[in-house]
Structure 1
């Protein structure tokens, strides 16, 4: 929020504390009425304060209006405001809590569910936990009561600033949470909960370097704090530093050999380094102890899928559904094999789950994407798009993504690098890395599989190391990317060697290796400064096919631009514009490979790619689908088959629904 908006909200909150409910309601109504009228700026007459209208201000206005209405005895109006608020911001914990208070006297069962939902979206809401404690105690739900009381004890033990910052973080006020937490740490520099919280806020702000340093320091200071070790291990895995994550997991297991969560964490990290045999062994032993663990069945399925055992993976996903019929990740995992066909009965079961009021938001999102895929396979474009659109809209509402910030970030790359800034004599001179960049769903996994079939090339995965280096450079006085061209030759060499050292664990014995992180297209300037001899391949696909394929995909993390047709179209345009800049300032250094050309002339394109990489032609690259290797991207099953063209023009049956995307891409048909 801007300072102007914060002043308005602060004034309304003051009025609420003074019990001036009618003035609060009228002020909020002015804001909401202006939003309905499509006005950008208004003067709130009841407060005599000007303000710019934004979704964040609308969200706070709906919430404060509901609180004032409840306190004024207008429960029906309060509930209507809260239902509208939750529809627009389904993960807003305080809205669910307030709805619980509104329903306490009329529908205690529904009120209890609202308090439960509130704690799922914001575990720092002590009031909701206290309400649930009464419910669980009255219903004699002993296991739930125990967990509830543990959380209450934990929250009550937190210093008030840390609890407040935790609440702010879960409500999406990240910068304010960061400020409160840092102020507390100035007074108590090594408070473990505050250090872990600041790291978690850093992750959400994508300040990964800061977060990693904080958690590493916390683990060093408190070696027996397993919560800190788990947070550190989770972040390492998120950053793609799986070898380090395995090391931390094994240290944790040595201290707690019987811990279920530690074993699961180790198995997840082992999947990351490609040790699938050991990972699946851990998952299967956990399931032998207790088969009613749907999340473990799904994790096992992911490991089996990465190994190429698709049939066994499908069985694992189906078993998860048998144990939990509302477990959305299991349905989406089936859809995400790209080869599984849902039966009419299973589609009906999924649709019934989505319509349940008790289903969690995360499960609903997953099932919507799975239904979209299921009905697309059956040729029902209208129903398919309905679910794709619903899943995307729900997912987007949980994100704080603004395409304008991304466009500015890509423009900054253009401003930061000119042709004169590149000198092949500086940086690390290694020729090992081959970067495959582009948009997700553009055919990069196919190109990786082709190259990884060569005897002199190791396939790895989507490595996070360039993103990590870029993040570390953001901490300088002159932020990244504007500071890259001023780095000394010594630092450029060190950064290039750091990249090679960090990625060594993912390699085998081949002289070349692939880094298939699509988003690295943003950082090509950085890559060519620290690794001037690295090869860069830009995977391209017909923009409509590429963008719509991304819109249909529920990504594990990142790719936040993909949950809106407008956003994904604008992102494609910004990507294309930046790639044109890289070609101008780095002539001949980037090879663009169009997916459609590969389908039309596999041998010709393979020879062109190999020549660009300085590799001799090998027949194995044409028989890429026979290559056995770990693949963890959504296209894993597709690249284990010979080439086919059924993916071309998949957007056309949905043509009438894609006007927004076509307008952004300037497609006329």
Structure 2
């Protein structure tokens, strides 16, 4: 704040304290006044923009920061904050450019490197994310979020030993850090060490930890006990963690059932597409989590014509934006949409995902929840391929129960809810497949394990891809895998992946729940 009059500097400090204390009204009054008293100084404007960001006024924050940059175009903090505002407005490319500019102007700014790395990671640019996050952690070794994200990025890149080191660095800062324990547990091919077990059990005995951390540590304890063959203890740990999460974020089975029934009805009759070739670039891989979808994507992504994009949010975002435009919740507007509407929405999705076609002509979108939208794709992206993956129901359900999911509320916190979703989703997909039999194809995980070459040939055929031997060596593919199966799909196929049956009668309630559905 060099150059500010002392009383204006004090006003900016008071505004920052008011924002910290949650008094947005007072903060706004103080910072507005400071900007009026010092119109030629960028720092009051920067703090005003931070307030505007905190109060969900990102476009206004972006305009305020542009005013500040007109006064100080080489200020790295302004460029870094502008990146945050641009990102909040959906201008991802501009945000990355702003963060890169901030890093170039002042390479010693840890937060600019962190923001750059975080957003590169979200875009699937894992190599660049690792480089930026390593810069952030070198500059600020105690920056916990950077350590965690670096661990995640290294995991996605298949560098599991380096990832584990970063998670352990995080635990040295915060031994009850649930995200660090979740990261270690998600390296599923490596068991926790004895020292990890001792630390984990000590943290779980504490009474001063956040519920979210306790849930993550409970899942880590479950994996630890399963790896050691103590299945009673493993079941209890998973059950306790999920019960706590369900209390925190209840999931509504009835609302889910009604939603699917509405989607089935709304998509029964759709108009013929304007362009039947639209969407040929896209291969959607859908199905419940833990059903083998990451493995199928890895096989496809090993093909020289296919980019593996992992779990993209874009289809859901396009549909949500249309709901907001119409003021009608999806799927209630589906029956009203005409051919031109679907054509427009299909182009919007392809525009949002264009970066994934920059190196290879086709790409995979492996967002599991996209199965809910499979019924409308024959109108929106009529040439897209949909691969539905299924695994043994008991194994799928139990694997979901053991996996902590970031997005909550989630059906995986309760065994009966998992059974409900499994049965309802499969019924819906069976109906949608009869409506688009040439575009929606069912593939079974166990069949792939039993006859890998035959099933890989069939998978490529269903996608309209010529056979390439690289798909047989999918585990050698060098790509970012941004799911909980990142370690598993970098190994050759194994036939001994079943885990649920070893739990015996402990899973009888789950078997009963699965049997109650036709």
- Please state which band the TM-score falls in when normalised by the shorter chain: 0.7 to 0.9
Could you say which residue in structure 2 is the equivalent of 1:433?
282
Instruction: State the distance in 1 between where 2:105 and 2:250 align.
Output: 38
Decide which of 342, 346, 351 is 1:492's aligned counterpart.
Answer: 342
| Inter-CA distance 406–257: structure 2 relative to 1 (3 Å threshold) | farther
Could you say which residue in structure 2 is the equivalent of 1:359?
209
Instruction: State the distance in 1 between where 2:225 and 2:14 align.
Output: 40
Greater alpha carbon shift after TM alignment, 248-257 vs 492-501: 248-257
Instruction: State the distance in 2 between where 1:329 and 1:154 align.
Output: 25
What SS does structure 2 have at the residue aligned with 1:296? helix
Q: Deviations over 1:564-586 (max 9, x none)?
A: 11221111122112112202322
Could you say which residue in structure 1 is the equivalent of 2:62?
219
Could you say which residue in structure 1 is the equivalent of 2:297?
448
Could you say which residue in structure 2 is the equivalent of 1:58?
none
Decide which of 80, 87, 91 is 1:233's aligned counterpart.
Answer: 87
- Please say if 1:541 is aligned against 2:391: yes
Instruction: State the distance in 2 between where 1:438 and 1:198 align.
Output: 37
Instruction: State the distance in 2 between where 1:560 and 1:231 align.
Output: 30
Map 1:11-410 onto structure 2 (within 5 A). 154-155=20-21, 157-159=23-25, 215-216=58-59, 219-220=62-63, 223=66, 230=84, 233=87, 243=93, 245-247=95-97, 249-250=99-100, 259-410=109-260
Decide which of 493, 502, 506 is 1:653's aligned counterpart.
Answer: 502
TM-score by length of 1: 0.65
| Inter-CA distance 558–459: structure 2 relative to 1 (3 Å threshold) | farther
- Indicate conservation of the 8 Å contact 1:294/1:321, yes or no: no
Q: Deviations over 1:514-539 (max 9, x none)?
A: 11111100011232211101000001
Instruction: State the distance in 1 between where 2:378 and 2:312 align.
Output: 17
Could you say which residue in structure 2 is the equivalent of 1:593?
443
**Displacement, 1:443?**
0.5
Instruction: State the distance in 1 between where 2:321 and 2:277 align.
Output: 18
What SS does structure 2 have at the residue aligned with 1:622? helix
The structure that has the greater radius of gyration is 1
| Inter-CA distance 255–361: structure 2 relative to 1 (3 Å threshold) | farther
**Displacement, 1:599?**
0.4
Q: Deviations over 1:619-657 (max 9, x none)?
A: 111111111111111111111110002222x11233433
What are the ranges of 5 or more consecutive residues in structure 1 without an aligned counterpart? 1-146, 163-190, 200-213
What SS does structure 2 have at the residue aligned with 1:634? coil
Could you say which residue in structure 2 is the equivalent of 1:577?
427
- Indicate conservation of the 8 Å contact 1:332/1:369, yes or no: yes
Instruction: State the distance in 1 between where 2:339 and 2:223 align.
Output: 50
Instruction: State the distance in 1 between where 2:19 and 2:202 align.
Output: 38
Q: May I ask how many residue pairs the two structures share in their alignment? A: 473
What SS does structure 2 have at the residue aligned with 1:458? strand
What SS does structure 2 have at the residue aligned with 1:347? helix
TM-score by length of 2: 0.83
What are the ranges of 5 or more consecutive residues in structure 2 without an aligned counterpart? 1-12, 29-47, 69-77
- Indicate conservation of the 8 Å contact 1:434/1:534, yes or no: yes
Could you say which residue in structure 2 is the equivalent of 1:606?
456
**Displacement, 1:593?**
0.3
Instruction: State the distance in 2 between where 1:368 and 1:153 align.
Output: 35
Instruction: State the distance in 1 between where 2:179 and 2:205 align.
Output: 17
Could you say which residue in structure 2 is the equivalent of 1:633?
483
- Indicate conservation of the 8 Å contact 1:246/1:266, yes or no: yes
- Indicate conservation of the 8 Å contact 2:274/2:339, yes or no: no
Instruction: State the distance in 1 between where 2:55 and 2:431 align.
Output: 37
**Displacement, 1:193?**
9.0
- Indicate conservation of the 8 Å contact 2:374/2:429, yes or no: no
Instruction: State the distance in 1 between where 2:109 and 2:251 align.
Output: 37
Could you say which residue in structure 2 is the equivalent of 1:662?
511
What SS does structure 1 have at the residue aligned with 2:280? coil
RMSD between aligned residues: 3.0
Higher relative contact order (CA 8 A, sep 6+): 2
Could you say which residue in structure 1 is the equivalent of 2:7?
none
- Please say if 1:458 is aligned against 2:312: no
**Displacement, 1:592?**
0.4
- Please say if 1:567 is aligned against 2:431: no
Q: Deviations over 1:47-76 (max 9, x none)?
A: xxxxxxxxxxxxxxxxxxxxxxxxxxxxxx
- Indicate conservation of the 8 Å contact 2:110/2:140, yes or no: no
What SS does structure 1 have at the residue aligned with 2:353? helix
Greater alpha carbon shift after TM alignment, 274-283 vs 449-458: 274-283
**Displacement, 1:283?**
2.3
Instruction: State the distance in 2 between where 1:258 and 1:353 align.
Output: 35
